[in-house]
Amino acid sequence: MTNTARTADAAPIDADATLRVAAIQMVSATNVSENLGRAEQLIGEAAAAGARLVALPEYFVLLGRSDRDKLAIREADGDGPLQAFLSGQAAAHGIWLVGGTLPLASASPGKVHNSVLVYGPDGRRVARYDKIHLFRFDSGGERYDEATTLVAGRTPTVFDLSAPAQDPSAPARDPNAPARGSAPARGPSASARDAAAPQAWRIGLSVCYDLRFPELYRAMAPADLILAPSAFTWATGSAHWELLLRARAVENQCYLLAPAQGGVHENGRRTWGHSMLVDPWGEVVAVRAEDGAGVVVGEVTRARLKSVRAGLPALSHRVM
């Protein structure tokens, strides 16, 4: 059930130079408890495979018979069984866990935020991103309009994956601005501490339809890894899914990890799946090519990021 990138299992992994990640693919149904049970099983499988960061797909909690079904399970920010589930799983496995999306209450009656929540290995929440671009599609046979039940987010979000898990949620910063929290060293002892501190992984958050808006991804640059939990339809996914993921990775010279819904759902909807990890050169590192639930595991490496950016320094050539 696990698709793993080509790595030498016997070789030790430098935690600062390599980040093992996992994208969980699901076929979420109309029963929340069943979906959480399946998610728990897959999270455990990913953790057992050595993943330090595990990401669930969009709508992992519920794909109901009606778009309005999600309103019945909405939670206040910071409180509720769905958030407690994510926190508990992160702490139980000692991983960074990305809760694909779940419905959080909004100020608009009859609508919710479609939110990605990130929890650190100690179970504390470190980031929240509300999906900015809301999907609308009408093929004549299929029709979707997320704006009928969702409120769009406004803020691009990145976070730093480091240890211990205490990085606050943060908006994307100007790449020309000083690093968040940076300050002049106050003597040799501060310099020594900086040199000894492990380098954090800079990670951006996006959701599904966001992939069609490259300006969002550029706003998060420079990032080492961008996550894109998704539920692409079969029609749009078969045409554009891999193309969009590889394009966003190439133009931002970063890794893209995309956990997805994949299969025929209880409500009759068919999603594309093909959860994958793409590297900064646009190469597919690992992918689940078949429908159904499973785990895709791969490695993000600083060596690959540095090699691509040094050989083709496109990010430094930006003029707009």
Tens-place pLDDT, residues 162-203: 854 443 444 443 433 333 333 333 334 444 444 556 799 999
51 three-state secondary structure: coil
Name the one residue in this structure whose structure tokens are 């501190």.
197
Query: What pLDDT does residue 49 have?
Result: 98
208 is catalytic: yes
Cis peptide, bond prior to residue 222, ω within 30 of zero:
yes
Q: Work out the angle at residue 160's Cα, subtended by the Cα atoms of residues 123 and 45, and round it to the nearest 5 degrees.
A: 50
Q: Which of 208, 242, 254, 299 is catalytic?
A: 208
In the sheet with 96-105, reading across from the earlier edge strand, the strands are 2-4, 294-301, 18-25, 53-55, 96-105, 112-119, 125-130
Determine which one of 70, 111, 131, 146 is catalytic. Answer: 131
Would you call 131 a catalytic residue per the annotation?
Answer: yes
Q: What local confidence, expressed as pLDDT, does residue 163 receive?
A: 54
CA dist 267 → 30, 40, 103, 157, 160 (Å): 7, 22, 18, 32, 37
pTM for this predicted structure: 0.86
- What confidence score (pLDDT) does residue 196 get? 53
Q: Which residues of the chain have pLDDT under 50?
A: 1-13, 164-194
